Structure 1
Amino acid sequence: MPEAAPGERILVVGPSWVGDMVMAQSLFKTLKARQPGAWIGVVAPAWSRPILERMAEVDEVAPLEVGHGEFGWATRRRLAAELRGRFDRALVLPRSWKSALVPFLARIPRRTGFTGEQRYALLNDRRRLDKSVLDQTVKRFVALGLPASEAAGGDFALPRPELSRDEANLERLRETLGLSSRPAIAMMPGAEYGPAKQWPLAYFRELAEALVAEGHEVRVMGGPKDAEAGEMIAKGLEGAHNLCGRTRLGDAVDLLADCRQAVTNDSGLMHVAAAAGTRVQAIYGSSSPDYTPPLTDNAEIHYLALACSPCFERTCPLGHTNCLNHLPPARLLRAIRG
């Protein structure tokens, strides 16, 4: 058990998506700025530990080993028992009923979260979510760490996520992955939500060919599910590397920090790239840059704002996906050249 630190002990129940976990750092930064002596623990899926370990504000990670969509009653009870008596306050970021269970079972005195899914008994500091005021995911996260009266107007600072780098790990990756010293551009063709958020692979390939011809190294990044897409982009193209499924999440931080720019769909890795300090070329289709923008000043948004956008659907309900198909590779190439 970690040694208790002076100040308030705050447990945050974190989100289940990569991008949301990165954005949650804005909340952690807010809490530490107001209470430098606070101890921040985060209940989070085990996969997120490498990201949380790159956040200086996080003192402790409590992995919740529950599969996606799984209730995991016994697992939640066991984790709650381990946390009991150790925290003064809990902030529950997801709005699901089950996400509020661990703080309730751990008997944490004050449990804050937005109302939703009939979890009134589980929370004793319930907040009403005004989506017109808290119109971004990051605002909703930070608001839960503020007094209700201060959060109500939506006019508060949003500290930018900032993930630390591991230079020794980067050198190891360069050697083991066979990367060059040429200026690197990252490409992230995946998006867990669905194809309505994914720029055409043929466009990624065309852009990769142009970048390699101009002397860049191209690093296609993503998880194992993106390996086939990565192969379509990089196959037979000298200077392009398909790294999808070949690196860990922590490795992605270092590889992206080493890139000059990143071309990416609205995805978790987009937020990782922004927090790593990389210039981001962010492509939006069915989603909205107003709701989940990359939290950096060093980004260019590519969004057509068609009459049918944003629809927030996984697949295009009109069958044409013009919001992405009408964003040509030449536009991204011009933006990268600056």
Structure 2
Amino acid sequence: MKRAVWLPNWIGDAVMATPALRLLRDSDPDGKIVGIYRPPIADALAGTGLVDKMILDESRKVTWKQKLAFVRQLRQEGCDEIVLLTNSLRTAAIARLSGIPRRIGFSRDGRGLLLTDRLQPLSKSDPNPVLDEYLRLAGKTVGQKDLSHISRKLELSTSRDDQIAWQDFASRHCLDEGHYVCFNSGGAFGAAKHWPVEHFAKLALRVVEKTNMPVVMLCGPSEKTLAREFVELADHPLVHSLAEEAVSVGLSKAMVQHASMMVTTDSGPRHFAAAFGTPVLTLFGPTHIAWSETYFEQQSHLQLDMDCGPCQQRTCPLGHHRCMTELTVDRAFRAFKELHKRTQPQKAAA
């Protein structure tokens, strides 16, 4: 069996899809899985062994001639079936044009007729875990109706190069394994998820002063300026960032893997923590917690109860962004201390 999987577009969603990929892999250990991806999903899933081959999605925002070239590329793969973890009409249409005999996906946005095996989404408005929705698709694919006993554990891996990059950074900044905290301010979803950089800097100083653990801010290509500002505002020798490092999903994964704890907004790298068993405090603003539930025991969520939210908007429609700006450093640090007290003996024992 050769099976294609059209992977989610965002890092966090791709990580939450790993239990579904594991179910697909275990159902046919000798089969081949071809992943269709957008950057940097391949880097996020590298080393997991969940996908045998990766094909870059070259069908977005291109001419019809280029789209048809991508269709021919998929047709040449000769896949027996495709699981669409994406919801767009475009991906379903390309799967159909590629001649893949069996096409499994959610019937939404007018694409039901393009699928051979259709599932109705549980809801487009009522929050339910994306992780479970991906598992439903995988279960439909392999004929597994009862998913209650299927593992929801997220899976990630790091390469030798990732570990070398981590060791180099740790050596230059005097970091000890399991004795530093990762911060993550990212959020490709939009500005509404952002916690003020001033708050992050003040929280970093609290963490350093009360625990004597260094703090390292992760960052992607578009977050380097913010990460530098964070370090400047904190102005402490134990507060660092990845802003001066080569952009690398692998290094970010390794940083989280070896950290004592993580504090993050609701963005993709948050799920690195669950995959590696690193306790994580997530600061939520406009997004409903239930959508990204991962069932990770060593996690804590912090969200203000707002009359206007959670609104699920990329920018605040009311212009005040209070769901994040009014989430105080004091409250975040209390949640950090509680999680630290609850999880650190477990991490030490592990």
Which category of TM-score, normalised to the shorter sequence, fits these structures? 0.7 to 0.9
Q: Is the 8 A contact 2:33 2:53 kept in 1?
A: yes
Q: Which amino acid aligns with 1:217?
A: P
The aligned amino acid for 1:281 is L
- Greater Cα offset, 242-251 or 204-213: 242-251
Tell me the equivalent position of 2:184.
188
CA distance in 2, matches of 1:74, 1:180: 53
- The within-5 A match list for 1:304-319 is 304-319=304-319
Aligned pairs (5 A) from 1:147-296: 147=140, 157-166=150-159, 169-176=162-169, 178-182=172-176, 183-213=179-209, 214-235=211-232, 236-244=235-243, 246=245, 247-296=247-296
Say if 1:37 and 1:254 are closer, same or farther in 2 by CA, change over 3 A.
Answer: same
Q: Give structure 2 stretches of 5+ with no counterpart.
A: 342-350
Question: What residue is the counterpart of 1:3 in the other structure?
Answer: none
Percent sequence identity is 25
Partner SS, residue 42 of structure 1: strand
Q: Is the 8 A contact 1:196 1:313 kept in 2?
A: yes
Q: Is the 8 A contact 2:45 2:157 kept in 1?
A: no
**Distance across 2 between alignment mates of 1:273 and 1:265:** 12
Measured in 1, the distance between the counterparts of 2:14 and 2:303 equals: 24
SS of the aligned residue for 1:331 comes to helix
The CA deviation string for residues 83-141 of structure 1, in whole angstroms up to 9 with x for no partner, is: 32521110111111111233223211101111233324432222222318982211221
Which range is displaced more, 298-307 or 12-21? 298-307
- What RMSD over aligned residues (CA atoms) do the two structures have, in Å? 2.6
Residue identity matched to 2:150: A
Give the CA deviation at 1:158.
4.9
Structure 1 counterpart of 2:248, one-letter code: R
In structure 2, what residue type is equivalent to 1:223?
G
- Residues 102 and 21 of structure 1: CA distance in aligned 2, closer, same or farther (over 3 Å): same
What's the TM-score, normalizing by structure 1?
Answer: 0.87
C-alpha offsets along residues 51-94 of structure 1, whole Å, 9 cap, x if unaligned?
12132221111112355xx1453444333323325211101111
Distance of 2:294 and 2:219 partners within structure 1:
17
Inter-CA distance 307–12: structure 2 relative to 1 (3 Å threshold): same
The 1-side partners of 2:231 and 2:294 are apart by 26
State yes or no: 1:94 paired with 2:86: yes
Quick one: structure 1 residues 156 and 211, their matched pair in 2 at CA, closer, same or farther if it must change by over 3 Å? Answer: same
Q: Deviation at 1:20?
A: 0.8
Structure 1 pair 149–23 and aligned structure 2 pair: CA distance change class (3 A)? closer
Q: Which is helix-richer, 1 or 2?
A: 2
- The answer to whether 1:18 aligns with 2:11 is yes
Give structure 1 regions of 4+ aligned residues with deviation exceeding 4 angstroms. 148-156
Mapped contact 2:165–2:251 kept (Cα < 8 A): no
1:5 aligns with: none
**Distance change (3 Å), C-alpha of 1:299 and 1:309:** same
**Are 2:105 and 1:106 equivalent residues in the alignment?**
no
Q: TM-score, normalised by structure 2?
A: 0.85
Give the distance between the partners of 1:299 and 1:164, measured in 2 at CA. 20
CA distance 1:278–1:226, change in 2 (3 Å): same
Q: Which moved more, 1:146-155 or 1:261-270?
A: 146-155
Matched, 1:130 2:122: yes
